[in-house]
Structure 1
Amino acid sequence: MHATIPDLMRHAASTYGTREFLRFPDTSLTFADADARSDGLAAALIDKGVRPGDRVAIMMDNVPGWPLSWLAVLKAGAVTVPVNVRYRAADLEHVLRDSGAVATLTTDEHAPHVPGTVYVLDAEHCGEHRGEHCGERPALTHEIANFQYTSGTTGFPKACMLTHDYWLRTARLIADQARLRDDDVMLIAQPYSYMDPQWATLFCLVGGIPLVVLPRFSASGFWASVREHGATITYVLGSMPLLLHKQPPHPHDRDNRMRLVLCSGIRPDLHRAFEERWGAPWRELYGSTESGPDLGMPIDAVETVGTGAMGLAYPGKEVTLAEETGEILVRGTPMMNGYWNHPEATAHAFRGGWYHTGDLGFRDEHGYIHHRGRLKDMVRRGGENISCAEVEGVLAEHPAVLQAALVPIPDDLFGELPKAFVQLRPGHAPDAETAGSIVAHARERLARFKIPEYVEFVAEFTLTPSSRIEKRHLLSPERDQRATPAIAIPKERS
């Protein structure tokens, strides 16, 4: 196996050359193109003073500059810090400050929002700098490839330190699960700052196949894109499957080349309907940023359709259940090297030699593990993890707020939505105007998906013996948590 991601890129360029590698709406790059352009961009970064081990942030939409910048940063021996383009002042500043990023690669659209050193890339021509070819330089490598920020249970996101080996193993494990073929075409619609397009990029480097990158996910246009591009493999998660299912049936639903849909959290009651509607098997892929792929379902495991089974451990992984709680525990490779700047959180996550996922599970008679809830203080909104503590901290900065608690409430589309319970300081009215002011305060500081959908005011909170808010008393099962006395928050206009 190749030692680094740049090694894999160079091997793919020499092996597959003029084959198509990256397909964007208005741009197509071959394997050789991507290698040469990322070489040029890496040389430019080195000329700017980027050194091995430096952290370089990337904040872009799904444009060719994203994967080319990722490859370039790694070729320069630096560490990539992917940044969600929806981040605003508080979460953006935290990621850049916490990571120690020396610069941010971005585009004109996002440059005004980014503090510090900013390099603006032309999305169409990035990487055409003709510096010294990086392949002719001494190898500039750093064990860590990414500081991948993920929402945990306490405060702002923490950076998972992900090595080159982590990414390469992830790509190969999923390629083996998919039984990758020479005529495959991979299609992805998630933002590039997330895990999925990144491992998909390496997945395609492994197999010498094209990666189709959509600008964004569109439920109405997704399967039309599948047909247009001849996609054979894709990965979806969160609210994406249900949004696709809610689209009106189309006479050409089964007129596609799709042979495998990988998905995290397939709804058992809709699993068979998904397969029958689009004529392709849907198979579970369970994992996390911290641990990569943990459980996967083989393509031919047709007997598990609709059972909720998440599969068996990938080669190199052990997955078990904690005796007392039923928490899903994982160890093996790939695995992160820990949380950057958070040794205590790392030690807690890996106590007893196992990574504690925070998810609860059970094992059926066939050995398959099923998901049955979670332990973490988080809201799972579609494909997004929201740290309750992070949002609570921002809400508490509002002058009217004494204390705040964020909790998940059920939602048919997104699975869960965030609801804020707020205790006000004296002199502030518990009305829609106050709620709107609190939410406006949060909108200025947090990504849109983290903003509470509902606010409910309380006179006081029930506290635990350690003086923490006892959240289990907040959600009364006998009433609709979206109804009065909750205040629905108007949607922000785009």
Structure 2
Amino acid sequence: MYMTQGLHRSMQQRPQQVAIRYEGKEITYAQLGDRVARLAGALRGLGVQDGDRVAMFALNCARYVEYYMAVPWAGAVLNPVNIRWSAAEILYSLEDSGTGVLIVDENFKDVATAVAADCKHLRHVIYAGDGETPPGMLSYEALIADAEPIEDRYRHGGDLAGIFYTGGTTGFPKGVMLSHAGLLSSATNAIMFGLTSKDARVAMVMPLFHLAMFSSINIQMMVGGSIIAVPSFDPGKLLQTISDTRATEMLLAPTMFQMLIDWLERNPDRAASLDLSSLTHLRYGASPMSLTLLQRARAAFPNAGFAQGYGMTEMSPVVTVLGPEHHNEESLANGRMGSVGVPAFTVEIRIVDPEGREVPRGTVGEITVRGPGVMLGYWNKPEATADAIRDGWMHTGDGGYMDEDGFLFLKDRIKDMIISGGENVYSAEVENALASHPDVSQSAVIGVPHERWGEAVHAVIVPKPGTQPTLESIQAHCRTRIAGYKIPRSVELRESLPTSGVGKVLKAELRKSHQR
């Protein structure tokens, strides 16, 4: 298996099919293949050799998709840059990986210039923006125009395909090394679960540096569907894009779904002018979605089948899938809709205790996984690799249990579990209870130091506009839904929650103000 496999197939089978739609322009698979082969040729002309690292620092665009295909075509290794990072974190990732070429768009050219001045490994900066190329940079379009297309290098199987840096919010990030076979095998799961088709038009709005979006690109390359590149998330603009392009699919974080639904409710006249009936497949991931929000989403997009993917960068990224057949009233009643689904076709799961022994069904333990998607390791971090991968099993750091029918229920990150008075409290369970409070827009639950109980449950809440929920109202609401020891003992109101580039709440940031 190799990263460009799907592109080769679609170039042959669907050459005139639109591969990418971006800002009113269309690129067919035949055109994409030519541009990818020329960009690969340009990279080789700049001295890029097999295994060399090439980075991309940009908003979502057609050129980002070209980058994802051209780098492996050239035999090199991908290194997408998190657009939310500080300059120091970006510099660290480029230096740590020994990246020699950086491609940047107009949005980040100034940061890239500053980083490049301090990065000893970086040999070339390519400007993939519109307008005049900044001094010291090479023109992306000129390189493609001047280069001859080259044959695919066909690196494959266990060869390193990309270094995907994860973390960086509580310390410098770790580079996750993923193989060609791992990435392709993971992407095939969406096809095997029936979550896409050759007629798909996928709106890609989550940042393309995120591995879930790269997986979405791989999926569309394989089936010959169309990618609609959306530069950034704006609820109104995204909904208009869906209406205009007749998009059929989309993957969003739960926080994004909430903002879309809130926009529809706040703007009924504009919402009435939109035709969203084309949406047939909606996927959510990156963090848990409360059942309250999920029910609102299903009501807002009644023509769409919903699916959830649970995964992690270290697994390329898919671990489990909860398909549309389990997003219905029956699954709501039997609790299945509250699970993260069943193991993906290429994944095996075990729930283990701290000693690595498998626990009985229904017992909470650490989720461990194995399969071809398991990372090759952390770049330059053999000790961290050995701690994460033991006897071929990836230890996820997530706590959960599996029921008798093989459905996985995610409880919490092991490190986010709150131990209060000797009882385990899973923050996700408390957050799910808070989600149905009429005054709560968003919430995050953390443990804070307590002299008597060790830790106390603390809720950080973003109120709905015009409301001011009190501790008493929060506790009364939760008392009918969860056990007494799980009820928040304190509440903090905020205008917003700190989140990562893909909508995950950064609980480490919330804990900082409570550290002793």
TM-score of the two chains, using structure 2 as the length reference: 0.71
Aligned to 2:344: 314
What amino acid is aligned across from residue 126 of structure 2 in structure 1? V
Query: Structure 1 residues 188, 52: closer, same or farther in 2, change over 3 A?
Result: same
Cα distance in structure 1, aligned partners of 2:447 and 2:408: 30
Picking from 257, 264, 285, the partner of 2:309 is: 285
2:314 alignment partner, SS class: coil
2:277 alignment partner, SS class: coil
More helix as a share of residues: 2
What amino acid is aligned across from residue 278 of structure 2 in structure 1? R
Q: How does 1:382-397 map to 2 (within 5 A)?
A: none
Picking from 356, 362, 378, the partner of 2:395 is: 356
* Structure 1 residue 340 displacement after superposition: 0.6
Aligned to 1:145: 161
Cα distance in structure 2, aligned partners of 1:319 and 1:26: 43
* Structure 1 residue 134 displacement after superposition: 1.2
Cα distance in structure 1, aligned partners of 2:393 and 2:248: 35
The answer to whether the aligner puts 1:297 opposite 2:322 as a matched pair is yes
Moved more, 265-274 or 115-124: 115-124
Q: How does 1:27-426 map to 2 (within 5 A)?
A: 27-114=25-112, 115=116, 116=119, 117=122, 118-123=124-129, 126=141, 128-135=144-151, 139=154, 143-151=159-167, 155-249=171-265, 250-251=271-272, 255-264=276-285, 265-279=288-302, 280-291=304-315, 292-301=317-326, 302=328, 303-305=330-332, 307-323=337-353, 326-376=365-415, 415-416=443-444
Cα distance in structure 2, aligned partners of 1:96 and 1:128: 24
* Structure 1 residue 482 displacement after superposition: 5.0
What amino acid is aligned across from residue 64 of structure 1 in structure 2? A
Moved more, 102-111 or 276-285: 102-111
User: 8 Å contact 1:238–1:414 — kept in the other structure?
Assistant: no
Deviation sequence 1:429-472 (CA, Å, 0-9, x none) = xxxxxxxxxxxxxxxxxxxxxxxxxxxxxxxxxxxxxxxxxxxx
2:383 alignment partner, SS class: helix
Deviation sequence 1:336-380 (CA, Å, 0-9, x none) = 1111111111111123542111111123344311111111369xx
User: 8 Å contact 1:65–1:121 — kept in the other structure?
Assistant: no
User: 8 Å contact 1:360–1:372 — kept in the other structure?
Assistant: yes
Aligned to 2:462: none
Cα distance in structure 1, aligned partners of 2:313 and 2:373: 10
Cα distance in structure 1, aligned partners of 2:232 and 2:446: 23
Query: Structure 1 residues 62, 154: closer, same or farther in 2, change over 3 A?
Result: closer
* Structure 1 residue 477 displacement after superposition: 4.9
Deviation sequence 1:215-259 (CA, Å, 0-9, x none) = 111223333322221111111114112222222433367741111
* Structure 1 residue 299 displacement after superposition: 2.4
Query: Structure 1 residues 140, 248: closer, same or farther in 2, change over 3 A?
Result: closer
2:50 alignment partner, SS class: coil
User: 8 Å contact 1:226–1:256 — kept in the other structure?
Assistant: no
User: 8 Å contact 2:250–2:283 — kept in the other structure?
Assistant: yes
1:46 alignment partner, SS class: helix
What amino acid is aligned across from residue 325 of structure 2 in structure 1? D
What amino acid is aligned across from residue 50 of structure 1 in structure 2? V
1:50 alignment partner, SS class: coil
What amino acid is aligned across from residue 297 of structure 1 in structure 2? L
* Structure 1 residue 171 displacement after superposition: 1.8
Query: Structure 1 residues 376, 27: closer, same or farther in 2, change over 3 A?
Result: farther
What stretches of structure 2 of length at least 5 have no aligned partner?
A: 131-139, 266-270, 355-363, 418-433, 450-486, 495-508, 511-516
User: 8 Å contact 1:317–1:330 — kept in the other structure?
Assistant: yes
* Structure 1 residue 419 displacement after superposition: 12
Query: Structure 1 residues 481, 275: closer, same or farther in 2, change over 3 A?
Result: closer
Query: Structure 1 residues 417, 365: closer, same or farther in 2, change over 3 A?
Result: closer
Cα distance in structure 1, aligned partners of 2:40 and 2:294: 44
Cα distance in structure 1, aligned partners of 2:446 and 2:353: 31
User: 8 Å contact 1:186–1:210 — kept in the other structure?
Assistant: yes
Moved more, 117-126 or 93-102: 117-126
Moved more, 187-196 or 138-147: 138-147
Picking from 461, 486, 489, the partner of 1:478 is: 489
Deviation sequence 1:127-157 (CA, Å, 0-9, x none) = 632423212x664668111100011797311
What amino acid is aligned across from residue 341 of structure 2 in structure 1? G
1:86 alignment partner, SS class: coil
Query: Structure 1 residues 253, 327: closer, same or farther in 2, change over 3 A?
Result: farther
TM-score of the two chains, using structure 1 as the length reference: 0.74
Number of aligned residue pairs? 399
Instruction: Give identity over the alignment, percent.
Output: 25
Cα distance in structure 2, aligned partners of 1:347 and 1:60: 33
1:206 alignment partner, SS class: helix
* Structure 1 residue 318 displacement after superposition: 1.1
Query: Structure 1 residues 354, 153: closer, same or farther in 2, change over 3 A?
Result: farther
